Amino acid sequence: MADPGRKSEVLKALGRLARGLSALFWGLPLSMLFYVQAARADWMEAMGAFSMLPPVAASGLLIYGLRQMEQFQRQERIWRAALDRALFLAYVNTGLAPFLFWWHRMPFVPLYIAAVSFLAVGSLLFLASLNHLLQRLTAMLPDEALRQETRLFTKLNRGMLGFVIAILLFYLIFSPLRGLPRGVVLVLVRMEVSGVWVLLFLILMPLAMTMSLLWKIKEIIFSSVFDAEH
């Protein structure tokens, strides 16, 4: 017979894992929403300096979700390494989030420009890292169909995110330079005019697929917890 204490510990770890996945599910869209609004400060302008709090809180929700997952399969090195990478990026992004407010107020300060640039790249890297984390998570779950589906969609997501990161880095590296060829200058001008909305559109698909995977994995874990209890 299974040790009741061991079974209780496993169920508790699975419950925390499901809670963490739920926090990540809600934290991802909230982070994107508050990052954009803090930078543009449209409807958050009335909050004054407090408008820096929502993006920090949304980033903190992502950290909370990842910390909830720490008790699951602590002995698995690959899983722990993937979780630690995602946590590191989440902490970095949380520390950079307040610079969105300051950059909006003083957009020509080099420090604020650099911080917001790092935050943009770091957010995309976090989403790619989260996809890798989900792939490692499903590799430890007994559902083969879920493993295959997660492997397919996380590979697709990371490919699209890599493309977006390449475009963003191209702009961040070349836009401050002078004396560039006319073709490159025209591309940079076009990116400056409509690049933000194009990037947001390209990010929406991997974001939506990541949220879908988070929800599906959470539901499967919930089902396994309830089946084990009954």
Average pLDDT along the chain, 230 residues, taken 10 residues at a time:
61 84 94 78 63 87 93 86 95 92 84 90 95 93 88 93 90 81 81 72 90 91 63
Q: What is the pLDDT of residue 126?
A: 96
Q: What is the pLDDT of residue 80?
A: 92
Q: What are phi and psi of 70, to 5 degrees?
A: -70, -25
Query: Residue 27 burial by CB count (10 A; 0-12/13-18/19+): exposed, middle or buried?
Result: buried
* Contact present, 141 and 213 (Cβ < 8 Å): no
Q: What is the pLDDT of residue 136?
A: 93
Nearest Cα to 89, choosing from 113, 120, 110, 68?
A: 120
Instruction: State pTM to two decimals.
Output: 0.88
The span from the CA of 2 to the CA of 96, in Å, is 47
The span from the CA of 37 to the CA of 164, in Å, is 20
Q: What is the pLDDT of residue 1?
A: 43
Q: How many C-beta atoms lie closer than 10 Å to residue 125's C-beta? A: 19
